[in-house]
Copies of this chain bind each other. A is one copy, B any other.
Amino acid sequence: MPPALIELRRRLAEVSDLESLGQLLAWDQEVVMPPGGAEWRAQQRATVERLAHERFVDDRIGELLEAAIPESELDEDLIRVARRDFEQARRVPPELVEELAHASATGHEAWLRAREDSDFALFEPPMRRNVELRRRWIACFPEAERPYDALLDYYEPEMRTAQAEDALGRLRDGLVPLVEQAAPADDALLHGGPFPVDAQRRLIATILRQVGVQPRQWRLDDAVHPFAATVSLDDVRLTTRYAEDDLDSIFSTLHEFGHGLYEANIDRALARSPLGTGVSSAVHESQSRLWENMVGRSPGFWRWCFPHLRAAMPERFGDCTWEDVHRAVNVVRPTLVRVSADEVTYGLHVILRFELEVGLFEGGLDVADLPEAWAERTRAYLGLEVPDHAHGVLQDVHWAEGLFGYFPTYALGTIVSGQLWCRLNGDIPDLDERFAAGEFGPLADWLAEKVHRWGRRLTPTEVVERATGGPLDPGPYLDYVRAKLAGASAGLIA
Protein backbone atom coordinates (compact mmCIF):
# COMPACT_ATOMS: atom_id res chain seq x y z
CA MET A 1 0.00 0.00 0.00
CA PRO A 2 1.36 3.47 -0.79
CA PRO A 3 2.68 5.31 2.28
CA ALA A 4 0.22 8.23 2.19
CA LEU A 5 -2.73 5.83 2.21
CA ILE A 6 -1.18 3.82 5.05
CA GLU A 7 -0.67 6.94 7.15
CA LEU A 8 -4.14 8.25 6.30
CA ARG A 9 -5.73 4.97 7.36
CA ARG A 10 -3.69 4.92 10.58
CA ARG A 11 -4.73 8.45 11.49
CA LEU A 12 -8.37 7.85 10.65
CA ALA A 13 -8.31 4.65 12.72
CA GLU A 14 -7.05 6.66 15.68
CA VAL A 15 -9.90 9.16 15.34
CA SER A 16 -12.36 6.31 14.97
CA ASP A 17 -11.00 4.67 18.14
CA LEU A 18 -11.47 7.95 20.01
CA GLU A 19 -15.06 8.15 18.79
CA SER A 20 -15.67 4.58 19.98
CA LEU A 21 -14.24 5.62 23.34
CA GLY A 22 -16.75 8.45 23.44
CA GLN A 23 -19.49 5.84 23.04
CA LEU A 24 -18.00 3.76 25.84
CA LEU A 25 -17.69 6.77 28.15
CA ALA A 26 -21.32 7.66 27.55
CA TRP A 27 -22.55 4.08 28.00
CA ASP A 28 -20.50 3.65 31.14
CA GLN A 29 -21.84 6.89 32.62
CA GLU A 30 -25.46 5.94 32.02
CA VAL A 31 -25.20 2.28 32.97
CA VAL A 32 -22.46 1.47 35.48
CA MET A 33 -20.59 4.57 36.68
CA PRO A 34 -20.86 5.41 40.38
CA PRO A 35 -22.66 8.78 40.41
CA GLY A 36 -19.79 10.50 42.23
CA GLY A 37 -17.72 10.21 39.08
CA ALA A 38 -19.94 12.57 37.06
CA GLU A 39 -17.84 15.70 37.39
CA TRP A 40 -14.61 13.96 36.32
CA ARG A 41 -16.43 12.09 33.60
CA ALA A 42 -17.55 15.35 32.00
CA GLN A 43 -13.89 16.34 31.75
CA GLN A 44 -12.86 12.94 30.41
CA ARG A 45 -15.51 13.14 27.73
CA ALA A 46 -14.52 16.68 26.81
CA THR A 47 -10.89 15.58 26.51
CA VAL A 48 -11.75 12.67 24.21
CA GLU A 49 -14.01 14.81 22.04
CA ARG A 50 -11.45 17.57 21.78
CA LEU A 51 -8.67 15.14 20.91
CA ALA A 52 -10.78 13.36 18.30
CA HIS A 53 -11.60 16.72 16.72
CA GLU A 54 -8.03 18.07 16.89
CA ARG A 55 -6.52 14.92 15.42
CA PHE A 56 -9.07 14.88 12.64
CA VAL A 57 -8.80 18.52 11.54
CA ASP A 58 -4.99 18.35 11.65
CA ASP A 59 -3.36 19.84 8.52
CA ARG A 60 -1.61 16.52 7.99
CA ILE A 61 -4.94 14.80 7.30
CA GLY A 62 -5.62 17.39 4.62
CA GLU A 63 -2.22 16.73 3.02
CA LEU A 64 -2.76 12.98 3.11
CA LEU A 65 -6.22 13.31 1.57
CA GLU A 66 -4.56 15.13 -1.33
CA ALA A 67 -1.60 12.75 -1.60
CA ALA A 68 -3.29 9.38 -1.10
CA ILE A 69 -3.72 7.36 -4.27
CA PRO A 70 -6.65 4.95 -4.01
CA GLU A 71 -5.94 1.34 -4.99
CA SER A 72 -9.50 0.06 -4.80
CA GLU A 73 -13.09 1.23 -4.78
CA LEU A 74 -13.01 0.95 -1.03
CA ASP A 75 -10.08 3.38 -0.91
CA GLU A 76 -11.97 5.76 -3.17
CA ASP A 77 -15.00 5.66 -0.91
CA LEU A 78 -12.82 6.16 2.14
CA ILE A 79 -11.09 9.22 0.70
CA ARG A 80 -14.36 10.72 -0.55
CA VAL A 81 -16.16 10.36 2.79
CA ALA A 82 -13.15 11.41 4.86
CA ARG A 83 -12.67 14.49 2.68
CA ARG A 84 -16.31 15.48 3.10
CA ASP A 85 -16.06 15.09 6.89
CA PHE A 86 -12.72 16.90 6.97
CA GLU A 87 -13.98 19.88 5.00
CA GLN A 88 -17.09 20.13 7.18
CA ALA A 89 -15.11 19.85 10.42
CA ARG A 90 -12.60 22.50 9.33
CA ARG A 91 -15.34 25.00 8.61
CA VAL A 92 -16.35 25.61 12.21
CA PRO A 93 -13.82 27.59 14.28
CA PRO A 94 -12.87 25.87 17.57
CA GLU A 95 -14.09 28.91 19.56
CA LEU A 96 -17.58 28.49 18.13
CA VAL A 97 -17.51 24.76 18.90
CA GLU A 98 -16.68 25.64 22.49
CA GLU A 99 -19.37 28.30 22.72
CA LEU A 100 -21.91 25.84 21.36
CA ALA A 101 -20.88 23.20 23.90
CA HIS A 102 -21.10 25.70 26.73
CA ALA A 103 -24.48 27.04 25.62
CA SER A 104 -25.72 23.47 25.31
CA ALA A 105 -24.80 22.67 28.91
CA THR A 106 -26.33 25.94 30.15
CA GLY A 107 -29.46 25.34 28.09
CA HIS A 108 -29.83 21.85 29.49
CA GLU A 109 -29.70 23.12 33.07
CA ALA A 110 -32.19 25.92 32.36
CA TRP A 111 -34.52 23.50 30.60
CA LEU A 112 -34.62 21.16 33.59
CA ARG A 113 -35.83 24.01 35.81
CA ALA A 114 -38.14 25.51 33.18
CA ARG A 115 -39.83 22.18 32.51
CA GLU A 116 -40.26 21.48 36.22
CA ASP A 117 -42.04 24.82 36.68
CA SER A 118 -43.61 24.73 33.20
CA ASP A 119 -42.13 28.25 32.88
CA PHE A 120 -41.21 29.25 29.35
CA ALA A 121 -39.66 32.54 30.50
CA LEU A 122 -36.80 30.60 32.17
CA PHE A 123 -36.14 28.80 28.92
CA GLU A 124 -36.40 31.69 26.50
CA PRO A 125 -32.99 33.37 27.02
CA PRO A 126 -30.84 30.21 26.65
CA MET A 127 -32.99 29.10 23.71
CA ARG A 128 -32.45 32.48 22.07
CA ARG A 129 -28.71 32.05 22.61
CA ASN A 130 -28.78 28.57 21.07
CA VAL A 131 -30.54 29.88 17.98
CA GLU A 132 -28.11 32.78 17.67
CA LEU A 133 -25.05 30.51 17.97
CA ARG A 134 -26.52 28.06 15.50
CA ARG A 135 -27.01 30.91 13.03
CA ARG A 136 -23.28 31.62 13.33
CA TRP A 137 -22.66 27.91 12.72
CA ILE A 138 -24.87 28.03 9.62
CA ALA A 139 -22.83 31.00 8.37
CA CYS A 140 -19.78 28.69 8.26
CA PHE A 141 -21.48 26.95 5.31
CA PRO A 142 -22.19 29.82 2.91
CA GLU A 143 -22.72 27.47 -0.03
CA ALA A 144 -25.97 26.21 1.54
CA GLU A 145 -28.91 27.43 -0.54
CA ARG A 146 -31.10 27.81 2.51
CA PRO A 147 -30.00 28.25 6.14
CA TYR A 148 -31.80 25.09 7.24
CA ASP A 149 -29.94 23.07 4.57
CA ALA A 150 -26.76 23.37 6.64
CA LEU A 151 -28.53 22.06 9.75
CA LEU A 152 -30.15 19.15 7.99
CA ASP A 153 -27.07 18.17 6.00
CA TYR A 154 -25.15 17.59 9.23
CA TYR A 155 -27.40 14.65 10.17
CA GLU A 156 -28.70 13.72 6.73
CA PRO A 157 -25.89 14.21 4.23
CA GLU A 158 -27.06 15.67 0.91
CA MET A 159 -30.68 16.02 1.99
CA ARG A 160 -32.07 19.46 1.18
CA THR A 161 -34.73 21.27 3.21
CA ALA A 162 -37.00 21.42 0.17
CA GLN A 163 -36.91 17.61 -0.17
CA ALA A 164 -37.66 17.17 3.50
CA GLU A 165 -40.48 19.71 3.33
CA ASP A 166 -41.97 17.90 0.39
CA ALA A 167 -41.74 14.41 1.90
CA LEU A 168 -42.80 15.42 5.38
CA GLY A 169 -45.59 17.65 4.04
CA ARG A 170 -47.02 14.70 2.12
CA LEU A 171 -46.65 12.50 5.18
CA ARG A 172 -48.46 15.10 7.30
CA ASP A 173 -51.25 15.57 4.80
CA GLY A 174 -51.71 11.81 4.68
CA LEU A 175 -51.58 11.24 8.41
CA VAL A 176 -53.84 14.03 9.72
CA PRO A 177 -57.07 12.67 8.22
CA LEU A 178 -56.10 9.10 9.15
CA VAL A 179 -55.64 10.10 12.78
CA GLU A 180 -58.93 12.00 12.74
CA GLN A 181 -60.72 8.93 11.43
CA ALA A 182 -58.97 6.39 13.65
CA ALA A 183 -61.51 4.18 15.39
CA PRO A 184 -61.66 4.48 19.17
CA ALA A 185 -59.93 1.40 20.47
CA ASP A 186 -59.25 -0.35 23.69
CA ASP A 187 -55.69 -0.95 24.80
CA ALA A 188 -56.44 -1.42 28.53
CA LEU A 189 -54.79 -4.84 28.26
CA LEU A 190 -51.40 -3.12 28.01
CA HIS A 191 -51.85 -0.50 30.69
CA GLY A 192 -51.94 -0.41 34.44
CA GLY A 193 -50.15 -3.68 34.94
CA PRO A 194 -48.84 -5.03 37.12
CA PHE A 195 -46.31 -6.37 34.66
CA PRO A 196 -43.56 -7.66 36.96
CA VAL A 197 -40.16 -6.37 35.86
CA ASP A 198 -38.51 -9.77 36.27
CA ALA A 199 -41.06 -11.31 33.93
CA GLN A 200 -40.45 -8.50 31.41
CA ARG A 201 -36.70 -9.15 31.61
CA ARG A 202 -37.16 -12.85 30.86
CA LEU A 203 -39.51 -12.11 27.99
CA ILE A 204 -37.15 -9.57 26.46
CA ALA A 205 -34.21 -11.94 26.78
CA THR A 206 -36.28 -14.50 24.84
CA ILE A 207 -37.18 -11.96 22.15
CA LEU A 208 -33.62 -10.74 21.72
CA ARG A 209 -32.27 -14.30 21.46
CA GLN A 210 -34.84 -15.03 18.79
CA VAL A 211 -34.06 -11.96 16.68
CA GLY A 212 -30.37 -12.85 16.75
CA VAL A 213 -28.68 -11.25 19.75
CA GLN A 214 -25.65 -13.30 20.87
CA PRO A 215 -23.96 -12.66 24.22
CA ARG A 216 -20.61 -12.85 22.45
CA GLN A 217 -21.25 -9.48 20.81
CA TRP A 218 -24.13 -7.84 22.63
CA ARG A 219 -25.21 -6.58 26.03
CA LEU A 220 -28.55 -5.40 27.33
CA ASP A 221 -28.68 -3.15 30.39
CA ASP A 222 -31.06 -0.80 32.12
CA ALA A 223 -30.93 2.96 31.53
CA VAL A 224 -33.18 5.89 32.34
CA HIS A 225 -33.28 6.97 28.68
CA PRO A 226 -32.81 3.93 26.42
CA PHE A 227 -30.09 4.11 23.79
CA ALA A 228 -27.74 1.89 21.79
CA ALA A 229 -23.96 2.27 21.94
CA THR A 230 -21.48 0.75 19.50
CA VAL A 231 -18.19 0.30 21.31
CA SER A 232 -16.94 -1.74 18.36
CA LEU A 233 -18.63 -3.68 15.57
CA ASP A 234 -18.40 -6.73 17.84
CA ASP A 235 -19.44 -4.96 21.04
CA VAL A 236 -22.92 -3.50 20.69
CA ARG A 237 -24.72 -2.43 23.85
CA LEU A 238 -28.47 -1.92 24.07
CA THR A 239 -30.26 -0.33 26.97
CA THR A 240 -33.90 -0.35 27.90
CA ARG A 241 -36.16 0.61 30.79
CA TYR A 242 -38.95 -1.23 32.54
CA ALA A 243 -42.13 0.08 34.13
CA GLU A 244 -44.48 -2.10 36.14
CA ASP A 245 -47.51 -0.52 34.50
CA ASP A 246 -46.81 -0.89 30.79
CA LEU A 247 -44.98 -3.11 28.29
CA ASP A 248 -43.17 -0.32 26.45
CA SER A 249 -39.90 -2.13 27.25
CA ILE A 250 -40.64 -4.57 24.42
CA PHE A 251 -40.88 -1.83 21.80
CA SER A 252 -38.11 0.26 23.23
CA THR A 253 -35.78 -2.75 23.17
CA LEU A 254 -36.71 -3.66 19.59
CA HIS A 255 -36.12 -0.02 18.62
CA GLU A 256 -32.61 -0.01 20.06
CA PHE A 257 -31.97 -3.46 18.62
CA GLY A 258 -32.71 -2.01 15.18
CA HIS A 259 -30.02 0.62 15.71
CA GLY A 260 -27.57 -1.92 17.11
CA LEU A 261 -28.10 -4.50 14.38
CA TYR A 262 -27.29 -1.89 11.75
CA GLU A 263 -23.87 -1.23 13.26
CA ALA A 264 -23.20 -4.90 14.10
CA ASN A 265 -23.68 -5.89 10.45
CA ILE A 266 -21.36 -3.33 8.92
CA ASP A 267 -18.63 -4.90 6.78
CA ARG A 268 -15.58 -5.56 9.00
CA ALA A 269 -13.35 -4.07 6.29
CA LEU A 270 -14.85 -0.65 7.13
CA ALA A 271 -14.07 -0.84 10.84
CA ARG A 272 -11.92 1.86 12.42
CA SER A 273 -12.58 4.25 9.54
CA PRO A 274 -15.14 6.97 8.77
CA LEU A 275 -16.95 4.39 6.61
CA GLY A 276 -17.62 2.04 9.52
CA THR A 277 -20.81 3.53 10.90
CA GLY A 278 -24.45 4.11 9.92
CA VAL A 279 -24.85 6.38 6.89
CA SER A 280 -27.31 8.93 8.28
CA SER A 281 -29.73 9.61 11.10
CA ALA A 282 -32.78 8.88 8.93
CA VAL A 283 -31.46 5.56 7.65
CA HIS A 284 -30.53 4.63 11.24
CA GLU A 285 -33.99 5.55 12.39
CA SER A 286 -35.54 3.53 9.57
CA GLN A 287 -33.90 0.47 11.10
CA SER A 288 -35.02 1.12 14.66
CA ARG A 289 -38.59 1.94 13.63
CA LEU A 290 -38.81 -1.03 11.33
CA TRP A 291 -38.01 -3.42 14.19
CA GLU A 292 -40.07 -1.51 16.73
CA ASN A 293 -43.19 -1.10 14.60
CA MET A 294 -43.29 -3.09 11.37
CA VAL A 295 -41.93 -6.18 13.16
CA GLY A 296 -42.95 -5.58 16.78
CA ARG A 297 -46.59 -4.74 15.94
CA SER A 298 -47.05 -7.35 13.19
CA PRO A 299 -49.48 -10.28 13.48
CA GLY A 300 -46.67 -12.77 12.87
CA PHE A 301 -44.51 -11.39 15.66
CA TRP A 302 -47.38 -11.73 18.13
CA ARG A 303 -48.31 -15.18 16.96
CA TRP A 304 -44.75 -16.20 17.83
CA CYS A 305 -44.35 -14.02 20.92
CA PHE A 306 -47.70 -14.42 22.63
CA PRO A 307 -47.05 -17.85 24.20
CA HIS A 308 -43.88 -16.43 25.75
CA LEU A 309 -45.77 -13.39 27.03
CA ARG A 310 -48.46 -15.60 28.52
CA ALA A 311 -45.86 -17.90 30.11
CA ALA A 312 -44.07 -14.89 31.60
CA MET A 313 -47.26 -13.26 32.98
CA PRO A 314 -49.91 -15.97 33.19
CA GLU A 315 -52.20 -14.04 35.57
CA ARG A 316 -52.52 -11.17 33.15
CA PHE A 317 -52.57 -12.93 29.80
CA GLY A 318 -53.94 -16.36 30.67
CA ASP A 319 -57.42 -15.57 29.39
CA CYS A 320 -56.62 -13.73 26.19
CA THR A 321 -55.32 -14.47 22.72
CA TRP A 322 -52.49 -13.22 20.51
CA GLU A 323 -55.12 -11.29 18.58
CA ASP A 324 -56.07 -9.30 21.72
CA VAL A 325 -52.48 -8.26 22.29
CA HIS A 326 -51.87 -7.49 18.63
CA ARG A 327 -54.95 -5.26 18.56
CA ALA A 328 -53.87 -3.43 21.73
CA VAL A 329 -50.32 -2.71 20.54
CA ASN A 330 -51.73 -1.13 17.38
CA VAL A 331 -54.12 1.34 18.97
CA VAL A 332 -53.89 4.89 17.62
CA ARG A 333 -54.71 7.69 20.04
CA PRO A 334 -53.39 11.26 19.85
CA THR A 335 -51.42 12.36 22.92
CA LEU A 336 -49.54 15.49 23.88
CA VAL A 337 -46.11 13.98 24.49
CA ARG A 338 -43.93 12.73 21.65
CA VAL A 339 -42.08 10.01 23.55
CA SER A 340 -45.31 8.30 24.56
CA ALA A 341 -46.97 8.67 21.15
CA ASP A 342 -48.23 5.67 19.22
CA GLU A 343 -46.67 4.55 15.95
CA VAL A 344 -48.96 6.61 13.72
CA THR A 345 -49.23 9.95 15.55
CA TYR A 346 -45.49 9.97 16.31
CA GLY A 347 -44.69 11.34 12.89
CA LEU A 348 -46.98 14.35 13.43
CA HIS A 349 -45.17 15.28 16.64
CA VAL A 350 -41.92 15.30 14.71
CA ILE A 351 -43.25 17.22 11.71
CA LEU A 352 -44.57 19.92 14.07
CA ARG A 353 -41.04 20.39 15.47
CA PHE A 354 -39.46 20.40 12.01
CA GLU A 355 -41.82 23.11 10.81
CA LEU A 356 -41.11 25.27 13.86
CA GLU A 357 -37.35 24.83 13.38
CA VAL A 358 -37.61 25.97 9.75
CA GLY A 359 -39.71 28.88 11.00
CA LEU A 360 -37.06 29.86 13.54
CA PHE A 361 -34.17 29.81 11.10
CA GLU A 362 -35.88 30.95 7.92
CA GLY A 363 -39.43 32.10 8.50
CA GLY A 364 -39.14 34.90 11.01
CA LEU A 365 -40.63 32.89 13.85
CA ASP A 366 -39.40 34.43 17.10
CA VAL A 367 -38.43 32.30 20.08
CA ALA A 368 -41.06 34.15 22.12
CA ASP A 369 -43.76 32.96 19.73
CA LEU A 370 -42.89 29.26 19.99
CA PRO A 371 -45.53 28.33 22.62
CA GLU A 372 -48.34 29.78 20.53
CA ALA A 373 -47.09 28.16 17.32
CA TRP A 374 -46.77 24.86 19.18
CA ALA A 375 -50.32 25.05 20.48
CA GLU A 376 -51.73 25.90 17.04
CA ARG A 377 -50.09 22.96 15.31
CA THR A 378 -50.98 20.55 18.12
CA ARG A 379 -54.60 21.56 17.59
CA ALA A 380 -54.35 21.21 13.83
CA TYR A 381 -52.43 17.92 13.63
CA LEU A 382 -53.52 16.07 16.76
CA GLY A 383 -56.78 17.74 17.69
CA LEU A 384 -55.53 18.45 21.21
CA GLU A 385 -55.22 21.54 23.44
CA VAL A 386 -51.84 22.09 25.15
CA PRO A 387 -52.57 22.54 28.88
CA ASP A 388 -49.09 23.78 29.91
CA HIS A 389 -45.58 24.25 28.51
CA ALA A 390 -44.27 21.09 30.16
CA HIS A 391 -46.67 19.14 27.95
CA GLY A 392 -45.92 21.43 25.03
CA VAL A 393 -42.86 23.31 23.91
CA LEU A 394 -40.77 22.34 26.95
CA GLN A 395 -41.20 18.57 26.64
CA ASP A 396 -38.04 17.77 24.65
CA VAL A 397 -34.41 18.32 25.53
CA HIS A 398 -33.18 18.79 21.94
CA TRP A 399 -33.62 22.55 21.51
CA ALA A 400 -32.36 23.19 25.02
CA GLU A 401 -29.07 21.65 23.92
CA GLY A 402 -28.99 23.54 20.64
CA LEU A 403 -29.84 20.49 18.56
CA PHE A 404 -31.58 21.69 15.38
CA GLY A 405 -31.97 19.66 12.21
CA TYR A 406 -32.19 16.33 13.96
CA PHE A 407 -35.95 16.06 14.57
CA PRO A 408 -36.94 15.67 10.90
CA THR A 409 -34.71 12.61 10.58
CA TYR A 410 -37.07 10.73 12.92
CA ALA A 411 -39.92 11.12 10.45
CA LEU A 412 -37.70 10.70 7.39
CA GLY A 413 -36.63 7.40 8.94
CA THR A 414 -40.26 6.41 9.29
CA ILE A 415 -40.79 7.12 5.61
CA VAL A 416 -37.77 4.98 4.69
CA SER A 417 -38.95 2.18 6.98
CA GLY A 418 -42.24 2.13 5.05
CA GLN A 419 -40.41 1.85 1.73
CA LEU A 420 -38.15 -0.91 3.03
CA TRP A 421 -41.12 -2.78 4.47
CA CYS A 422 -42.94 -2.64 1.17
CA ARG A 423 -39.93 -3.98 -0.72
CA LEU A 424 -39.25 -6.62 1.93
CA ASN A 425 -42.74 -8.03 1.64
CA GLY A 426 -42.26 -8.17 -2.10
CA ASP A 427 -38.93 -9.99 -1.81
CA ILE A 428 -40.04 -12.31 1.02
CA PRO A 429 -43.77 -12.87 0.43
CA ASP A 430 -44.25 -15.08 3.50
CA LEU A 431 -42.45 -12.70 5.86
CA ASP A 432 -45.26 -12.56 8.39
CA GLU A 433 -45.53 -16.37 8.39
CA ARG A 434 -41.80 -16.56 9.02
CA PHE A 435 -42.18 -14.27 12.03
CA ALA A 436 -45.00 -16.48 13.30
CA ALA A 437 -42.53 -19.39 13.17
CA GLY A 438 -39.99 -17.32 15.11
CA GLU A 439 -37.81 -16.88 12.01
CA PHE A 440 -36.35 -13.37 11.94
CA GLY A 441 -33.17 -14.41 10.12
CA PRO A 442 -34.49 -13.78 6.58
CA LEU A 443 -35.41 -10.22 7.55
CA ALA A 444 -32.08 -9.60 9.26
CA ASP A 445 -30.17 -11.04 6.30
CA TRP A 446 -32.07 -8.87 3.82
CA LEU A 447 -31.37 -5.73 5.84
CA ALA A 448 -27.70 -6.68 6.26
CA GLU A 449 -27.29 -7.18 2.53
CA LYS A 450 -29.30 -4.17 1.33
CA VAL A 451 -28.55 -1.59 4.00
CA HIS A 452 -26.23 -2.51 6.87
CA ARG A 453 -23.09 -3.89 5.36
CA TRP A 454 -22.42 -0.79 3.25
CA GLY A 455 -21.74 1.49 6.20
CA ARG A 456 -21.03 4.88 4.64
CA ARG A 457 -19.72 3.55 1.31
CA LEU A 458 -22.98 4.59 -0.33
CA THR A 459 -24.73 7.91 0.25
CA PRO A 460 -28.03 7.86 2.16
CA THR A 461 -29.85 8.45 -1.13
CA GLU A 462 -28.01 5.56 -2.78
CA VAL A 463 -28.83 3.26 0.13
CA VAL A 464 -32.52 4.13 -0.06
CA GLU A 465 -32.72 3.91 -3.83
CA ARG A 466 -30.80 0.64 -4.11
CA ALA A 467 -32.68 -1.01 -1.26
CA THR A 468 -36.18 0.22 -2.11
CA GLY A 469 -35.94 0.78 -5.84
CA GLY A 470 -36.93 4.43 -5.72
CA PRO A 471 -36.41 7.86 -4.17
CA LEU A 472 -37.72 9.02 -0.80
CA ASP A 473 -41.50 8.54 -0.86
CA PRO A 474 -44.02 8.60 2.00
CA GLY A 475 -46.53 6.62 -0.07
CA PRO A 476 -45.63 3.10 1.10
CA TYR A 477 -45.67 4.15 4.74
CA LEU A 478 -49.09 5.80 4.36
CA ASP A 479 -50.37 2.68 2.59
CA TYR A 480 -49.07 0.55 5.47
CA VAL A 481 -50.86 2.77 8.02
CA ARG A 482 -54.05 2.92 5.95
CA ALA A 483 -54.17 -0.86 5.64
CA LYS A 484 -53.63 -1.24 9.36
CA LEU A 485 -56.32 1.31 10.31
CA ALA A 486 -58.78 -0.06 7.77
CA GLY A 487 -58.26 -3.51 9.23
CA ALA A 488 -58.84 -2.17 12.73
CA SER A 489 -62.03 -0.30 11.74
CA ALA A 490 -63.34 -3.40 10.08
CA GLY A 491 -62.38 -5.46 13.10
CA LEU A 492 -59.91 -7.16 10.80
CA ILE A 493 -56.73 -6.20 12.54
CA ALA A 494 -56.17 -9.45 14.29
Residues of A at the B interface (CB closer than 8 Å) are: 13-14, 17-18, 20-21, 24-25, 28, 32-37, 39-41, 43-44, 47-48, 51, 214-219, 231-237, 271-272
Contact = CB atoms under 8 A, between A and B. Distances in A.
Contacts of A219: 32, 34
A218 B219 CA distance: 22
Contact of A34 (B21, B216, B272): B216
Contacts of A237: 34
A215 B271 CA distance: 37
Contact of A17 (B14, B43, B232, B272): B43
A292 to B, nearest CB: 23
B21 A232 contact: no
B14 A51 contact: yes
Contacts of A233: 40
The oligomer's copy count stands at 2
9 smallest beta-carbon distances between A and B, as pairs: A37-B235, A40-B232, A36-B234, A36-B217, A17-B47, A36-B216, A17-B44, A37-B232, A37-B234
Contacts of A234: 34, 36-37, 39-40
A216 B36 CA distance: 5
A216 B17 contact: no
Given A28-B28, A36-B234, 13 more contacts: A13-B47, A18-B47, A21-B21, A21-B25, A21-B44, A24-B28, A32-B32, A34-B235, A34-B237, A36-B216, A36-B235, A37-B234, A41-B232
B34 A218 contact: yes
Given A21-B48, A48-B21, A271-B40, A235 B33 contact: yes
A47 B32 CA distance: 23
Nearest to A219: B34
Nearest to A235: B37
26 contacts: A14-B47, A14-B51, A17-B43, A17-B44, A18-B51, A20-B40, A21-B25, A21-B44, A24-B25, A24-B28, A33-B235, A34-B216, A34-B217, A34-B218, A34-B219, A34-B235, A34-B237, A36-B214, A36-B216, A36-B217, A36-B234, A37-B231, A37-B232, A37-B234, A40-B235, A51-B51
Nearest to A272: B43
Contacts of A44: 17, 20-21, 232
A231 B44 CA distance: 10
Interface-central residue, A34, A39, A236, by most chain B CB under 10 Å? A34
A36 B230 CA distance: 12
Contacts of A34: 215-219, 234-237
A271 B214 CA distance: 39
A235 to B, nearest CB: 3
A482 to B, nearest CB: 41
Nearest to A15: B47
A168 to B, nearest CB: 38
A383 to B, nearest CB: 46
Contacts of A40: 20, 231-235, 271-272
Contacts of A36: 214, 216-217, 234-235
Contacts of A271: 40
A217 B39 CA distance: 12
